[in-house]
Amino acid sequence: MDLNLAVLIDGDNIPSTYIKEMMEEIAKYGNPTIKRIYGDWTKPDLTKWKKILLENAITPIQQYGYTKGKNATDSAMIIDAMDILYSEKVNGFCLVSSDSDFTRLATRLREAGMKVFGIGEKKTPNPFIVACDKFIYLEILKHEAAENESKSTGNTSVSESSIDQITQKDIRLISNTISDLADDDGWAFLGDVGSLLQKKQPNFDSRNYGFQKLTPLIQSIKSFEIEQREASKGRSKLIYVKNIKQKKK
């Protein structure tokens, strides 16, 4: 079932340069039926947002900062989220912010049975990340767009600064997940592995490591073995993965 999503953007916290990639990414997960952005639009630093709201059909919500040092935008966004929740017009939320203040909101929405996607920069605190069902980094979306553009233009000078290196901790996470799902012969269906990885670590994304899909990421790690099997119906092949047992020295 395609999700109807409420997209709520913290305008004070998210740069406008990410808007194109961000909206394309959100469309992969559902239909953004409600799109709102919150901020004090009297401030000059939100001017860049104003130019692109109309072409992306995003409704600006004005929120004055009544008290110095207090973020009124967060409060307005949280109140709106709860109103939308009780209206029962959507079955999922996309919270766009790098602010940990939305951790409790994400938790509350999931308690109500909502699917919650988080989108923010890599500086986002971990409590907010793990409170979401899935968390996507804006830097990765920008890198992906730049990479696609470079392929079409023939320009290969794309910065790799946003790409993470695969660590032993990452490998252990994948290995343990495979073990959790493996049959008696040690094989696990890769689709199930990807789903469980997402539940264990909402910000797990093969694109974080420079791979478009999970399969090539797994293939790049010598600790795992991949096998393709014929599906019982249709032409598509099923991909299974297993841990390669390390030989004792």
DSSP state, 58? P
Q: What is the pLDDT of residue 70?
A: 46
Provide the pLDDT confidence category of residue 161 given band limits of 50, 70 and 90. low
Mean residue pLDDT of the chain comes to 87
Say whether 30 sits in a helix, a strand or coil.
strand
Pick from 99, 26, 14, 98: nearest CA to 56: 26
- Percent of the chain at pLDDT > 70 equals 86
Q: Give the global pTM.
A: 0.86
* Tens digits of residue pLDDT in 202-213: 999 999 998 989
* Tens digits of residue pLDDT in 89-122: 999 999 999 989 899 999 999 999 999 999 999 9
Contact 104, 125 (CB under 8 A): no
- Phi-psi category of residue 199: left, alpha or beta, with phi > 0 → left and psi -120 to 50 → alpha: alpha
Contact 132, 64 (CB under 8 A): no
Q: What is the pLDDT of residue 247?
A: 45
Give the chain's domains with CATH numbers. Answer: 3-145 (3.40.50.1010), 168-243 (3.30.420.610)
* Tens digits of residue pLDDT in 216-247: 999 999 999 999 988 776 667 899 999 997 54
